Amino acid sequence: MKLTLAHDHKLPTGALGLAIVPDGSRAFATCMDGTLYSVDLASGEAQPFEGKHDSYASGCVLLPDGRTVITGGYDGKLLWHDVETRKSWRQVQAHQFWNWQLALSPDGTRLATVTGQYAPGGWKYEPAPEREPSVKIFDTASGDLVASYAHTPPVLSCAFTPDSQHIAAANMMGEVRVWDVAPGGDRKPVAQFTSPDFTSWGTTKTHHFCGGIYGLAFSPDGQVLLCCGMGPMGDPMAGNGKMTWQRWNWQKGERIDQIKDGQHGAGLMESVVWHPEATHFVMAGRQAQGNWNAALFSAADGSLVHSVDTKKRITHAQFTADGKSLILSGATGQGARKQNGWEPWGRVQVFKVEA
C-alpha cells in the first residue's frame, strides 16, 4: 500500500479541521481566519461559509445527513452550518476557552468537544485544575448539552468508540480518560491511563509542560486506542521530539506497542486514522527531522509500510469510505508579507491510496 499525491489545494490561512463527504469529492476545512470552507477536491475551488468564528476555527464534522457541518472554534463556540446555503443557523457557546478538537459519534447523534486553558498550578507549572468541564457532549440534532466530564486541562483530543458508546479524551500530561456516554451514571471514567511519552517539561530552557496527546482513534473493533503526539524533549522549543504513536488496551490500561525504533523522525504528530479495511492506520503531522510526515503503518504489527513527506504541517487525515483516497488538511509556514499581501498558506491535499 502506498500514497501518491493527486491534488494540492490552497486555502487563505492554515487549515486546522477537516471533514469529507464519503466519496471524497468534497472537503470541509476550518481555518485560522475563523472560516469554514467547502473545497471541491477535484478542482480546488473553495467557497467560504457565511458564519465565522471569532478566532481560529479549530475543527468540523459532517453529519450523516450530508447537509449539516458543525464547527468548533478557539472562541469556544459551536456553529451549525447548512451545506447548501453556506449559512450558519445555530450557535452554542460550549466553552469559556478554546475548542481544541471535535469528535462525531459514528451514529452521528453526539458531538464531543474538548477544552481547557493551561494555567500554572504549582512551582513547576503543573497544570491547574479545570475551571469548567473539559469534555462536553452535545446532541447534534437539538444542540443541547447532554453530558459533561471532568479532566485536567488542557484536553487536546477526543474520539468515540465505533459503537458510539464511549468517548475518550486525552490531555497535555498524557492522561487518557474514557467514559460511557449512556445517559445517567456517575460521569466518572470507566477507564483511564497515563502515558509519560508525549509530554515535555523543558529542562533546558522552558520551565513548564507542553506537548501531550494530539490525536486519538479507536480501532475498528473498539478494543484498542491509538494515541499520537511527540516524544519528550529537554528543549521543547526545538520541536524535535520523537514522532510517536502508541496503542493501548484502554480497558486494562496496558500499552500494547508503539512506533518502532528506526521508523520515526522527529516532530509533532497531530492525527491518527484507521483505513476502512482496518488493515492499516495513518499517522500524520509535522516533520522537524527525518524523511516523512505522513506514514501508513500495518495494523498487524505496527510496522511502517509507506511514508511521504508533504513538506507541510498536517493537522487532520481522513480516508474516503472506499479507502482509495487519503485527504489531508494543514498549513505551510505563513511566510513573510509580500508586496501584494499574504500568500495562501492553508492546504488540503488528496493522496491516492494504491496497493
Partner 1 sequence: MNHDPSQLPIGQCPTNEHTMHRRLFIKGLAGGALASVTSFAGLFHNPVFAEATKKAQKRCILLWLCGGPSQFETWYPKPGRPTSGPFGTTATKIPGIHFSSLMPQCATIADKLNIVRNMKTTQPEHLQAINLIQRGNPDRAGFTRPTLGSALSQAIGSLDSPIPNFILLDPIQGGNEFEGFKAGDFAGWLGAQHSPVRLGGDYSKLLNAASDAIPQHDAESRETLRHFLTAKFERARNSAVARSENNAFERMKGLSASADLFDLNKLPAKDRERYGPGSFAQHALLSRHLVENGAPFVMVANGMNWDNHVFQHEIHQMLVPELDRVLFNLVTDLEERGMLDNTLVIAMGEFGRTPWINPARGRDHYPNAWSFMMTGCGLKRGVITGETDIDGVDVVGKAYNEQNLFVTIFSALGINPYAEYDLPGLPTFHRVENKAEPIRDLLA
Of the pair 24, 76, the CB lying nearest partner 1 is at 76
Minimum CB–partner distance for residue 25 and partner 1 (Å) = 28
Minimum CB–partner distance for residue 105 and partner 1 (Å) = 27
96 class by beta-carbon count within 10 Å (0-12 exposed, 13-18 middle, 19+ buried): exposed
Of the pair 83, 156, the CB lying nearest partner 1 is at 156
Of the pair 243, 353, the CB lying nearest partner 1 is at 243
- Residue 133's φ and ψ, nearest 5 degrees, are -55, 135
Footprint of partner 1 (CB under 8 A): 13-14, 32-33, 54-56, 74-75, 98, 117-125, 128, 154, 202-208, 210-211, 235-239, 267-268, 286, 288, 312-313, 331-337, 342
Of the pair 288, 305, the CB lying nearest partner 1 is at 288
Minimum CB–partner distance for residue 240 and partner 1 (Å) = 9
Of the pair 179, 214, the CB lying nearest partner 1 is at 214
Minimum CB–partner distance for residue 165 and partner 1 (Å) = 31
98 contacts 115 by C-beta, under 8 angstroms: yes
**DSSP string covering 11-78:** ESS-EEEEEE-TTSSEEEEEETTS-EEEEETTT--EEE-S---SS-EEEEEE-TTSSEEEEEETTSEE
Distance CA 115, CA 110 (A): 17
Minimum CB–partner distance for residue 335 and partner 1 (Å) = 6
For cell 513573510, the residue is 336
Of the pair 127, 189, the CB lying nearest partner 1 is at 127
Of the pair 178, 269, the CB lying nearest partner 1 is at 269
Of the pair 199, 219, the CB lying nearest partner 1 is at 199
Distance CA 10, CA 101 (A): 22
Minimum CB–partner distance for residue 118 and partner 1 (Å) = 4
Distances, alpha carbon 337 to alpha carbons 10, 35, 345, 347, in Å: 17, 21, 12, 18
Minimum CB–partner distance for residue 26 and partner 1 (Å) = 26
C-alpha cell at 333: 509556514
Minimum CB–partner distance for residue 68 and partner 1 (Å) = 25
**DSSP string covering 39-54:** EETTT--EEE-S---S
What burial letters (b/e) apply to 336-352, b meaning 16+ CB within 10 Å?
eeeeeeeebbbbbbbbe
Nearest alpha-carbon partner for 39 in 311, 272, 328, 325: 328
HEC per residue, 260-284:
CCCCCCECCEEEEEECCCCCEEEEE
